[in-house]
């Protein structure tokens, strides 16, 4: 079964850091680009970051550039999102999603169930 399972969310104080992980199974992980997409409570989808199959192409939303770092470890079928200097506006449900292509294309055919990040003092 093709599956993505996110972990690492939780309650964090403003200005602190958190690292999200996404474990992939059921497909050849290193054949595809991957993305992080978030959704604040009651709001729409926001693309956060994406990484190509070999980490050669990486992109970030302006809202997180310089604070978040996306990475992947193909040998472990895992995707990561290091989030630093967290703000209240980063509070959201974070989804890991698989692209249908090797390069960043935004056709995302597999999604995890998400992990919740709460930023509060």
Partner 1 sequence: QSVLTQPPSVSAAPGQKVTISCSGSSSNIGNNYVSWYQQLPGTAPKLLIYDNNKRPSGIPDRFSGSKSGTSATLAITGLQTGDEADYYCGTWDSSLSAGVFGGGTKLTVL
Using CB under 8 A, list all residues that contact partner 1.
Answer: 35, 37, 44-47, 50, 59-62, 95, 97, 100, 104-109, 111-114
Cβ 99 to partner 1 shortest distance, Å: 10
Buried b (16+ CB within 10 A) or exposed e, 88-108: eebbbbbbbbbbeeeebeeeb
Gap between the Cα atoms of 21 and 73, Å rounded: 11
- Distance (Å, rounded) from C-alpha 94 to C-alpha 12? 14
Distance in Å, CB of 75 to partner 1, minimum? 26
Kindly state the smallest distance separating residue 68's Cβ from partner 1, in Å. Answer: 12
Among residues 60 and 80, whose Cβ is nearest to partner 1?
60
Nearer to partner 1, 16 or 89 (CB): 89
Closest to partner 1 by CB, 3 vs 16, is 3
- Assess contact for 36 and 94: CB atoms under 8 A: yes
Which residue, 5 or 15, is less far from partner 1 as judged by CB? 5
C-alpha 105 chain-centroid distance: 15
Q: How far is the CB of 30 from partner 1 (least distance, A)?
A: 20
Three-state DSSP at 113 gives: coil
């Amino acid at each position: 079964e093709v599956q993505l399972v996110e972990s690492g969310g939780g309650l964090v104080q403003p200005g602190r850091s958190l690292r999200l992980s996404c474990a992939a199974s059921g497909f050849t992980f290193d054949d595809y680009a991957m993305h992080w997409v978030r959704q604040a409570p009651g709001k729409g989808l926001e693309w956060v970051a994406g990484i190509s199959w070999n980490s050669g192409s990486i992109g970030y939303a302006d809202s997180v550039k310089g604070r978040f770092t996306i990475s992947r470890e193909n040998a472990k079928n895992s995707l990561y999102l290091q989030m630093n200097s967290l703000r209240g506006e980063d509070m959201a449900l974070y989804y890991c999603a698989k692209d249908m292509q090797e390069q960043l294309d935004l056709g995302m055919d597999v999604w995890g169930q998400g992990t919740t990040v709460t930023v509060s003092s």
